[in-house]
């Protein structure tokens, strides 16, 4: 999976934050307006969205003379793929996984345990559901996490 530059990430953040999964997407103008404070030209935002479409990060659909854009995958699916790609960089995957597991907070460790338990149960019960296979998060697990991984509330120390 391709890593995103700063502007690409900002545009994807707008899409992930603004476009619900059932939405028809947003226009270049709507993305440019959401990037307030950056003072970007319309054509710059259009170029970034076009490049993201070429990378497979966004889907676009023609609406009259304009395009409507939406994320091709959820933010969580993108982050998970980045993590998997990092594991493929070489060295020992096992060692990297152990190091990662030791670096998460207690709450994050609980989420990982629950996810691994769900996977183990699904393996015993049979194939995963279509939603799990396509990368959508299991609601029971994602509802337990109310902040992005890696961000800790002020005053919370990492449990190692």
Q: Is 157 among the domain residues? A: no
Could you tell me if 96 and 132 lie in one domain? yes
Could you tell me if 66 and 11 lie in one domain? yes
Distance CA 100, CA 121 (A): 23
Q: Is 25 among the domain residues? A: yes
Q: Is 147 among the domain residues? A: no
| Nearest Cα residue to 134 out of 84, 61, 76 | 76
Ranges 19-28, 63-72, 134-143: which has the least confidence: 134-143
Collapsing DSSP states into helix, strand and coil, what is residue 137? Answer: coil
**DSSP string for 37-68:** TS---HHHHHHHHHHHHHTTSEEEEEETTEEE
Q: What is the pTM of this model?
A: 0.68
pLDDT in tens, 26-60: 999 999 999 988 889 999 999 999 999 999 999 99
Taken in order 150, 98, 80, 3, is the CA torsion positive or negative?
positive
pLDDT of 129 > 70? The answer is: no
Distance CA 74, CA 72 (A): 7
Could you tell me if 55 and 109 lie in one domain? no
Could you tell me if 80 and 116 lie in one domain? yes
So what's the pLDDT on residue 1?
58
Distance CA 7, CA 51 (A): 11
Could you tell me if 49 and 18 lie in one domain? yes
Could you tell me if 48 and 88 lie in one domain? no
Distance CA 81, CA 47 (A): 24
Domain that holds residue 136: 75-142
Q: Is 159 among the domain residues? A: no
Could you tell me if 90 and 133 lie in one domain? yes
Instruction: State the total domains in the chain.
Output: 2
CATH code at 25?
1.10.10.10
């Amino acid at each position: 999976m391709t890593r995103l530059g700063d502007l690409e990430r900002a545009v994807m953040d707008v899409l992930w934050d603004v476009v619900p999964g059932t939405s028809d997407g947003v226009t270049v103008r709507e993305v440019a307006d959401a990037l307030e404070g950056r003072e970007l030209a319309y054509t710059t935002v259009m170029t970034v969205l076009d490049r993201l479409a070429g990378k497979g990060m966004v889907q676009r659909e023609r609406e009259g003379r304009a395009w409507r854009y939406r994320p091709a995958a959820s933010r969580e699916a993108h982050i998970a793929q980045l993590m998997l790609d990092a594991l493929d960089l070489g060295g020992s995957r096992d060692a990297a996984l152990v190091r990662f597991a030791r670096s998460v907070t207690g709450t994050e460790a609980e989420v990982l345990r629950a996810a691994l338990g769900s996977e183990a149960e699904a393996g015993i019960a049979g194939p995963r559901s279509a939603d799990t296979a396509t990368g959508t998060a299991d609601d029971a697990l994602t509802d337990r996490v109310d902040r992005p991984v890696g961000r800790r509330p002020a005053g919370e120390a990492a449990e190692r």
